[in-house]
Chain A
C-alpha cells in the first residue's frame, strides 16, 4: 500500500511520542527479525539516536520493503498487549488505522491483520501476503466429476452456463469464509485459506459446496442430470505468488492427488493433518478410508436415506 505524506507524519509522530528507540527496534524486529535501526541508518551505535530520526528510518525501510502494514499490526499488538508486562500506549494509533482504512483496508481484530475491505477488489494474497514468501495455507481443490462425459452429451452453451453457475457458487462460498480462489481451469480450481481456523474454514467450505450443489441440482440446474464435484482439503506450506501457476509447494501437489486419486464424486476428502484440526464435533461427520501408504484419509459424503 502507498504511505502518503499525512500517514507518514502521523506514523513518525506516533512512534516518537510513544516509545524509546530501543522499543522501536524491538517492535520492528517483530516483523523483520534481524532489523537494526542503527545499522540501517549508519548512525553510531554509541550515540543515542533521536526518536524522530529512528521513526523516520524505520518508516522508510518498512515502506520500501512492503512491510508497513505488518509493522502497524505489530504496533497494534503492543498497544493492546504491552511489552513484557509493561503497558505501552501508542498515541495517534486510531488515526493511523483510520488513514489505512481509507485506502481500502480494514483491520480484523480476530485475525490481527489488515485485510482488503469488502468494497475493494479481492486479491489472491488478501492484500497482506508477500510475493515469493512461504506461508501455511489450507488448500481446497475442486473438480467437476465426469466432465468429459457431460461435455460430450450436452450442448456447449448449456455446459458453459452450468459450469459458470457452479464456478460462481464455489467462488461465493470460498470468499464467504475469507478464502481466495487462486485458480480455475474449465472444470475445477484451487482455493486457499490463510487466516485463523483455516483448515476448519476450508473443510466447512467444502461441505457447504456439496450442500449448495445438491440444492442447485434440485432447484436450478438446467442439466437433466446432477452435476457432481470431487473436493479435497490439505494444509501445508506453500510459496505465494500472485500468479497461481507459479505458486508452488508439496501441499498443492498433495491436494491435487487427494482429489483426483482418492475422492469419489459427491464427496470431500481431508488429509489426516486436517482431520486432527477439525475438533470433536466436525470430525464426527467424517468416516476414515484407506489412503496412500497404508495411512487413512477421511471422507464427508452427502447421503440420503434410500427412498
Chain B
C-alpha cells in the first residue's frame, strides 16, 4: 500500500517510514505544489498525510477545507510543532488520523494504518447513516458486459455476497492453526468454484470468509441463484472436500451496492456498501442463514423469491431470509463429533 505524504519540507518529516517488509506500506513524499494535480487521480480510499510543518494559519485553513471537499480520500495530519490548537476540528472536517507534537517520530506502519482504516470505516459509515443518506442504496446502473466493463480503481455497481464461516472461536479452539488454515483453504476453493460458475469473483477474502462480487448486468439473477446453490452444495463440500471431521456451518448475506474495485490491495477501500454487508452478515444474520436485502431480492428470479420470507429490518433496510434446507437437518453452530 502506498501512503502519499505532502510536505513543505520533505527532507525533514516528523514521521518515519516503516522498515521494509512484505506488508509494510510505502511512503511517497512530495511537495505541496504537486497536490492539485495528484489528488484528482487518486482512487477512493487513498491515504494522504498532510504535513503542517512550515504552514501558516491561512494555509492550514485551506487544507481543512480541502479535507472537507474530498470525502473519498482518507486524510491524516502531521503536526510536529503542535500548531493546531483543536485537533478534533480536523476530525470534524473529515480527517481520519492526527500525529501531534507528542508523537514526533511516529512510524507510519501497517498497524497504524489498519487502525486508521478501521476508524474510517466505522466513523464514515455512521456519519452518513446519521444523515440518512444510505438508508436506501442508490438505484444501480448496470454493467452490460459484466467483468469486461469493470475498470480497476473505479466505482461500479455490484451484487455483493458475504460468505462467512460460523463459530470461528470454537474452530480455533478445536483445531491446530495450520490444519485449520488448510481446511479453510478448501472452503475458499469450494466457494470460488461455485461463485465463478455464476459469473462472480471472491474478493477481500480473509481466513474464514469474505465477499463475492457480481457485476450488475442485465436482470442480475445469478447472485441469488449462486447463494442458493451454495446452500445445496454444502452437503457435497462436507462429505467430499472438507478436511474437518464434522459439518461446517456458514452464513451468507446478499445486497446490492457500489464500491471501488481493485483486484488486490483492497485494504484501503472504504464504501458504505461494504460496511453495510459486513454489518448485516456479522450482526444480524444467524449461523447458517442466507439473508437478502430487498434490492437484492428484487433481482432474484421470481421462483427463487418464493423461497424467501421477511426477516425484519436492519439499519433501515428490509431484510429477507432464504428458507432453511431441512435435509441436512439444521444444526447448531458447527457441530462436531466427540472424537474430533
Residues B225-239 near A (CB distance < 8 A): 225, 228-229, 232-233, 235-236, 238-239
Contacts of B239 in A (CB 8 A): 204, 281-282
**Which chain A residues border B327 with CB–CB below 8 Å?**
285, 300-303
Counting chain A CB atoms within 10 Å of each CB, which of B225, B228, B232, B328 scores highest? B232
Taking CB atoms and an 8 Å cut-off, the chain B residues in 194-246 that contact chain A are 225, 228-229, 232-233, 235-236, 238-240
- Given A214-B232, A300-B327, A304-B325, check contact A281 B306 (CB 8 Å): no
CB of A219 within 8 A of CB of B324, answer no
Using CB atoms, name the residue of chain A closest to B221.
Answer: A219
A207 touching B307, Cβ below 8 Å = no
A196 → B minimal CB distance (Å): 14
Q: Inside 8 A of B240's CB, which chain A residues have their CB?
A: 204
Residues in chain B near residue A302, CB distance under 8 A: 325, 327
A301-B327, A307-B309 given as contacts; is B235 within 8 A of A215 (CB)?
no
Closest to A211 in B: B232
Question: Is A168 located at the chain interface by the 8 A CB criterion?
Answer: no
Taken together as a complex, chains A and B put the C-alpha atoms of A219 and B235 apart, in Å, by 21
User: Is A257 at the interface (CB under 8 A from chain B)?
Assistant: no
Give, as a whole number of angstroms, the nearest-CB distance from A217 to chain B. 8
CB distance from A194 to the nearest CB of B (A): 19
* Set of chain B residues within 8 Å of A285, measured between Cβ atoms: 235, 327-328
Residue of A nearest to B335 (CB): A284
The answer to whether B238 and A281 have CB atoms under 8 Å apart is yes
Report if A204-B232 is in contact (Cβ < 8 Å); known contacts: A219-B303, A303-B325, A307-B323.
Answer: no
B328 neighbours in A (Cβ, 8 Å): 284-285
Mark B288-310 against chain A: 1 for CB-CB distance below 8 A, else 0.
00000000000001011011010
CB nearest to A212 among chain B residues:
B232
Answer whether residue B326 sits at the interface, using C-beta atoms and an 8 A cutoff: yes
Residue in contact with A218 in the complex, picked from B235, B303, B337, CB distance below 8 Å: B303
List residues of chain A with CB within 8 A of the CB of B238. Answer: 281
Asked whether any CB of chain A lies closer than 8 Å to the CB of B75, the reply is no
The residues of B that contact A219 with a CB separation of less than 8 Å are: 225, 301, 303-304
Measured between alpha carbons, how far is A215 from B239 in the docked complex, in Å?
A: 21
Q: In the bound complex, what is the Cα–Cα distance between A284 and B304 (angstroms)?
A: 27
Q: Does A305 contact B (CB under 8 A)?
A: yes
Number of residues from B at the complex interface, CB < 8 A: 24
B331 to chain A, nearest CB (A): 9
Q: Are B337 and A280 in contact (CB under 8 A)?
A: yes
Q: Which of A271-305 contact B (CB under 8 A)?
A: 280-282, 284-285, 300-305
B58-105 interface (Cβ within 8 A of A): none
CA distance A214 to B325 in the complex (A): 12
- Closest-by-CB residue of B relative to A203 is B239
Interface string of A202-234 (1 = CB under 8 A from B): 001001100100110011000000000000000
Residues of A with Cβ closer than 8 Å to B? 204, 207-208, 211, 214-215, 218-219, 280-282, 284-285, 300-307
Task: Report 23 cross-chain contacts, Cβ distance below 8 Å, ordered by A residue.
Answer: A204-B236, A204-B240, A207-B236, A211-B232, A211-B233, A215-B225, A215-B228, A218-B304, A219-B304, A280-B337, A281-B247, A284-B247, A284-B328, A285-B327, A285-B328, A301-B327, A303-B325, A303-B327, A304-B307, A304-B323, A304-B325, A305-B324, A306-B323
Pick the 7 closest A-B CB pairs, nearest first.
A303-B326, A305-B324, A305-B323, A218-B303, A211-B232, A303-B327, A282-B239
